[in-house]
């Protein structure tokens, strides 16, 4: 995973729970990096899982809930840092349809070693369906990113999630509609 994700997770934890909590998570989880992340560096996703689980134990908040909150935060950061990704899209659906063919292409130009999830989108009547698949157990992070995108485009959308296959943390179907 790219270091920007780790750095922003640390920023969110420090802002919401205090810098001492972030330091304690790094110590408790014994991550190989020692908690030193560069934005363009690449780190094993297991470090993110270890930090997440340590935060969940410390706060009593479920890991999936923490991932959703982080995803919402991360969307805001990424949309400001990489405005090309959201520019020119009239609505949420246009943006989501561009994930594979535009956004991920640009991300790979910036970070050739990025291991990105895959998205397949389609319309089913008036429902927009996004199939999410990843090698990592971050479907709740994807849900949070979607919630952040919904907020970015005015919040006038519904979102439902269901597991795709046997591992709903790595594969999920998100159904979106207009309110």
pLDDT, one tens digit for every residue, the chain (179 residues): 989 999 999 999 999 999 999 999 999 999 999 999 998 899 999 999 999 999 999 999 999 999 999 999 999 999 999 898 899 999 999 999 988 888 888 878 888 877 889 999 999 999 999 999 999 999 999 999 999 999 999 999 999 999 998 889 999 999 999 99
Domain count, the chain: 2
To which H or E segment does residue 160 belong? Answer: strand 157-163
Which pTM was predicted?
Answer: 0.94
**CA neighbours within 13 Å on the CB side: how many for 66?**
22
Cβ contacts of residue 46 below 8 Å, gap of 6+? Answer: none
Please tell me whether residues 134 and 162 are part of one structural domain.
yes
Q: How far is CA 124 from the centre of its chain?
A: 25
Q: How far is CA 139 from the centre of its chain?
A: 8
Please tell me whether residues 48 and 119 are part of one structural domain.
no
Of 13, 45, 61, the position where a domain reaches its end is 61
Of 12, 39, 61, the position where a domain reaches its end is 61
CA distances from 177 to 67, 100, 139, 150 (A): 23, 20, 19, 11
The domain in which residue 77 lies consists of: 67-178
Please tell me whether residues 77 and 22 are part of one structural domain.
no
């Amino acid at each position: 995973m790219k270091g920007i994700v780790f750095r922003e997770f640390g920023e969110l934890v420090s802002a919401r729970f205090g810098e001492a909590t972030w330091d304690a998570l790094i110590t408790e989880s014994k991550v190989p990096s020692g908690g030193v992340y560069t934005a363009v560096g690449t780190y094993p996703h297991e470090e993110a899982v270890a930090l997440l689980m340590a935060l969940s134990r410390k706060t009593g908040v479920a890991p999936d809930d923490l991932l959703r909150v982080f995803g919402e935060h991360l969307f805001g950061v990424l949309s400001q840092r990489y405005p090309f990704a959201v520019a020119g899209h009239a609505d949420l659906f246009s943006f989501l349809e561009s994930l594979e063919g535009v956004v991920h292409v640009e991300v790979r130009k910036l970070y050739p070693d990025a291991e990105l999830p895959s998205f397949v989108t389609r319309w089913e009547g008036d429902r927009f369906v996004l199939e999410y698949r990843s090698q990592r157990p971050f479907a709740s992070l994807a849900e949070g990113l979607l919630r952040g995108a919904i907020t970015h485009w005015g919040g006038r959308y519904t979102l439902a999630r269901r597991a795709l296959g046997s591992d709903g943390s790595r594969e999920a179907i998100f159904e979106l509609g207009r309110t």
